[in-house]
Chain A
């Protein structure tokens, strides 16, 4: 079974190589990486063989397919445990409702680390078992008590290169400057990253951002409101705002960067400078139906750099395991938010700040944008 999966993966890679999406060299590397994991996987099969099921809850869309291709199928052939994908969207409240009901049906969730931490303190999330999950396979500082980082994405500036091609924006100050860079803007509806962007534009030094001066950020955003055409709530929305030319610049998720660049034929470009890096994480529900141990095993299995490269290729997620960076050919590394060169230009969001301040700050933010 694992071999089928592998064949399938290699097939996907071949197709992409043929379409010119991955270079020949990149293809060989990836194929080698995949084949390398097989050998290990096959050896493990007999030892781990058991039946069972895990429900992995993600945010829907193509994510289910990608998680299945990258992690789910391989995990099944290694352990015999089926991993089912549920795209409901594991919001903090939804996870709390699962626990509150007394009979959770979810096992692992793709959650914001700060949500997982907050819920963990209420006893709703299992602590990560770092005897099973390997902290060495994560970037420094991105393994939390109740959440294990599984990918990265950034809030970055994307701009209309037809307008600003000669003199592209260089930082958040340029994003908020409609004199130098005329046109409308689009921001993210749920606040994350926007406070930081406003403060950077207002002259706060990157290393002095936290704790955020929310008041100052909101003043900046309130003064800028008339230039904002929309506050997007989803990736496809941000994409269409830029593609339709409704905004000349937008703060978007880096996972969209490659798609937008390709779909616009290079008319829309992006920069990493002053991008705001956000980690995505996996967390396990307390009393999950599939058992804590299996869930931890799944998280560990998803630390494999080759599998994370599949996620990068399918969804544009930056790999959580730094070992994966080297597997990406240079033309792909350009899109990797955590590639060392790109990482250096950006600022990671401070999860402890979000854990305590996100709710009230979001309220204020909504008050301002919807006034």
Chain B
């Protein structure tokens, strides 16, 4: 039962925010159909050349695939490490918790430029001893991304944990449950949503990361944002807008399918 259903005022405010959130779409969708080679809103003539470019230039597909691979690996690793860490802090409540959390959040707090330089030096030193996890390799980028996105996962999971009622855990413990039982049976189910959001958000962060990536890659590991990053002295390719439109279409399709599936399942349950 939902005892606190949002009233009309909340609905109106939310509608305003929703409009605000969708506003740049007004620009992005038309721009992707511009016939010109630079970002502009088309006047009379509409063209599909930037969508054609996405298909014809293999660099876009390669970049997207590389970014997906890096994003998946980095977000899974980062969320996993952050989950263990946050659980440890929550259960153990160590004396220097503040300091430990501070260290874990450092890459998030440090200016991106400093992180870029830091990770660049680190990856170059790795390059001297191996060629797999190194400068300008996909594994090297994934490693750097784990560093950059793990703090966000720590924050999200800690927020979820802060909502968990300690008494449940205490009850489980007093009934003799071991650590792993408590974690798997009691705590994890309660923070499932937090973990999933951490996974999603860290993936998005990795997918969009450019500040550090620009600096630790060169000619081989060209991620999608790097490909999009058309330099400070030059053009912004409208193909970026076309990519956005494709991604948005995908998101809409996934969300609609998900909602439809949930609804039909709910209806079936009602009938049953």
Contacts and interface: CB of A to CB of B under 8 A. Distances in A.
Q: Do chains A and B touch in the complex (CB under 8 A)?
A: yes
Interface of A: 55, 57-63, 84-89, 94, 97, 100-103, 105-106, 233-236, 239-240, 243, 253, 263
Main secondary structure of the interface of A (DSSP, over half): mixed
9 contacts: A55-B218, A59-B234, A62-B234, A86-B219, A101-B121, A102-B124, A105-B135, A236-B38, A236-B235
A236 B218 contact: no
B161 interface: no
Contacts of A243: 40
B50 to A, nearest CB: 15
Contacts of A60: 229-234
Contact of B235 (A57, A61, A86, A100): A61
B235 A106 contact: no
A97 B214 CA distance: 14
Nearest to A104: B124
A102 B232 CA distance: 27
Contacts of B258: none
Contact of B117 (A61, A89, A97, A106): A97
B190 interface: no
A20 B128 CA distance: 52
Contacts of A87: 229-231
A105 B235 contact: no
A59 B229 CA distance: 10
Nearest to B218: A86
Interface in B206-241: 214-215, 218-219, 229-237
B233 A235 contact: yes
Nearest to A239: B38
A1 B219 CA distance: 22
A85 B232 contact: no
Contact of B128 (A97, A103, A240): A103
B231 A101 contact: no
Contact of A233 (B121, B219, B232, B236): B232
Contacts of A86: 218-219
Given A86-B219, A88-B215, A106-B218, A59 B231 contact: yes
Given A97-B120, A101-B120, A105-B135, A62 B215 contact: no
B175 to A, nearest CB: 56
Contact of A235 (B36, B124, B136, B235): B235
A107 to B, nearest CB: 11
Contacts of B135: 105
A337 to B, nearest CB: 15
B179 to A, nearest CB: 43
Contacts of B136: 105
B47 interface: no
Given A103-B124, A105-B135, A240-B39, A234 B215 contact: no
A84 B38 CA distance: 25
B127 interface: yes
A61 B234 contact: yes
A236 B219 contact: no
B131 to A, nearest CB: 12
A85 B219 contact: yes
A335 to B, nearest CB: 17
A108 to B, nearest CB: 13
Contacts of B127: 103
B26 to A, nearest CB: 16
Given A84-B219, A106-B218, A236-B38, 20 more contacts: A60-B231, A60-B233, A61-B233, A62-B234, A84-B218, A86-B219, A87-B229, A89-B232, A97-B117, A97-B121, A100-B121, A101-B124, A103-B128, A234-B231, A234-B233, A235-B233, A235-B235, A240-B40, A243-B40, A253-B233
A70 to B, nearest CB: 16
Contacts of B231: 58-61, 63, 87, 89, 234
Interface in B109-147: 117, 120-121, 124-125, 127-128, 135-136
Contacts of A61: 230-231, 233-235, 237
B198 to A, nearest CB: 31
A168 to B, nearest CB: 25
B234 A235 contact: yes
Contacts of A240: 38-40
A74 B239 CA distance: 29
Nearest to A100: B121
B236 A236 contact: yes
A281 to B, nearest CB: 15
A233 B229 CA distance: 14
A59 B234 CA distance: 8
A57 B128 CA distance: 21
B162 to A, nearest CB: 40
